[in-house]
A = this chain, B = another copy of it.
Amino acid sequence: MIKRPRLSESLEDYLETILALQRENTVARSKDIAQRLNIKRGSVTGILKKLANSDLINYEPYGYVTLTPEGEKRALEIERRHVFLKDFLYRILSVDEETADRTACRMEHAMDNQVFDKFKAFVKKIDACPHSDVQHDT
C-alpha cells in the first residue's frame, strides 16, 4: 500500500500552478511558477526539489518541469475543487470574480473528497431547481 501523505497548502498550490503552466506551455518553467505564485525565483528551486523527491514532478536542474502521473493526479484533484468552488462562489453566491477566485484558492485545500462530492451533488440539485429564486440575485 503506497501512502499519499497530505500535501501542505503551499505544495498543492505549486502542483496546481505547474499543471496550468503545463497546459499552456507543455512544460513549466521556474520563472513562471515564481511569477504566478508571487514568490521569488530562488524560493522555487527548493520546492521543486522537494516535489521531485516525492515523485510528484520530473525535475532536472536547469531543465523544464513536468508533472509525474501521481503529481498530475494530485494537481487535477486540486484544480477540480478550485474550478468548482469558484463557480459556486461566482455563479451561485454572486461573489465578484476576483474574490471568487481568491477565495476558491484558499477553500480548495480545506475539503476532502467526501465533502467535495456532496457539495458538488448539492450544486447540481440547485441548478436543476430553476423554479426557485435561489440563484442570480445580489
> Which of A's residues lie within 8 Å of B, judged by CB?
89, 92-95, 99, 103, 106-107, 109-112, 114-115, 118-119, 122, 125-126, 129, 131-134
Sample 6 A-B pairs with CB under 8 A, ordered by A number: A93-B115, A99-B114, A103-B111, A106-B110, A107-B107, A107-B111
Neighbouring B residues of A132 by C-beta, 8 Å: 125, 129, 131-132, 134
Q: Are B112 and A109 in contact (CB under 8 A)?
A: no
The distance in angstroms between the C-alpha atoms of A110 and B104, with both chains bound, is 8
The distance in angstroms between the C-alpha atoms of A95 and B118, with both chains bound, is 8
Q: Are A103 and B110 in contact (CB under 8 A)?
A: yes
Q: Are A112 and B134 in contact (CB under 8 A)?
A: no
Q: Are B122 and A103 in contact (CB under 8 A)?
A: no
Q: A16 CB to closest chain B CB, in angstroms? A: 15
Instruction: Pick the contact of A93: B89, B118, B133 (CB < 8 A).
Output: B118
Q: A38 CB to closest chain B CB, in angstroms? A: 16
The distance in angstroms between the C-alpha atoms of A132 and B124, with both chains bound, is 13
